[in-house]
């Protein structure tokens, strides 16, 4: 059983995007703006990949109640193609990371899904310099 903990999201699970409506909203989670350290890339598949790094990555913390946490994290694992620690089928790994809540400056430990194939991401992805995938997508859609 996983421990209950916040989940940091930076891409299609952000509020207002389709996967938030499908995978987060059904579990009635609380959403708080947050940021972490890393590098985010837009991948050819149309979604982002996070790599380790020292830049700000803008996103949100999803807080699920203990009653629904296991179901919610299982749904997120499925979306992110995460089968468990060190499983060769994983596209992402679910790790613990330090996140900062934007409104209060409070630091929290949260799960985040980080892309495993850094070489692929750096070769084929588009680096989002300001770490804000939502803004990147809105700019792309505006073009």
Residue 143's pLDDT is what? Answer: 65
Tell which residue, 74, 60, 64, has the closest CA to residue 29.
Answer: 64
Rama region for 110: left / alpha / beta (φ>0; ψ in -120 to 50; rest): beta
Residue ranges in the chain modelled with pLDDT below 50? 1
Q: Which domain holds residue 31?
A: 7-142
Residue 100's pLDDT is what? Answer: 98
DSSP code of 27? G
Within a domain: 2: no
Residue 1's pLDDT is what? Answer: 45
CATH (domain of 91): 3.10.490.10
Within a domain: 65: yes
Within a domain: 61: yes
Angstrom distance (rounded) from CA 130 to CA 55: 8
Within a domain: 40: yes
**Structural domains in the chain (count):** 1
Residue 107's pLDDT is what? Answer: 97
Pick the catalytic residue from 80, 91, 106, 107.
Answer: 80
- This prediction's pTM: 0.94
Is 67 one of the catalytic residues?
no
């Amino acid at each position: 059983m996983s421990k209950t903990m916040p989940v940091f999201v930076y891409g299609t699970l952000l509020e207002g995007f389709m996967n938030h409506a499908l995978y987060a909203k059904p579990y009635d989670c609380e959403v708080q703006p947050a940021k972490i350290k890393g590098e985010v890339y837009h991948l050819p598949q149309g979604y982002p990949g996070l790599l380790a790094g020292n830049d700000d990555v803008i996103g949100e913390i999803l807080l699920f109640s203990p009653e629904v946490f296991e179901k919610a994290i299982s749904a997120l694992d499925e979306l992110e193609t995460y089968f468990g620690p060190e499983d060769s089928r994983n596209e992402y790994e679910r790790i613990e990371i330090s996140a900062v809540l934007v409104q209060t400056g409070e630091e929290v430990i949260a799960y985040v899904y980080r892309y495993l194939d850094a070489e692929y991401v750096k070769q084929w992805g588009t680096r989002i310099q300001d770490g804000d995938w939502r803004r990147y997508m809105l700019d792309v859609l505006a073009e």
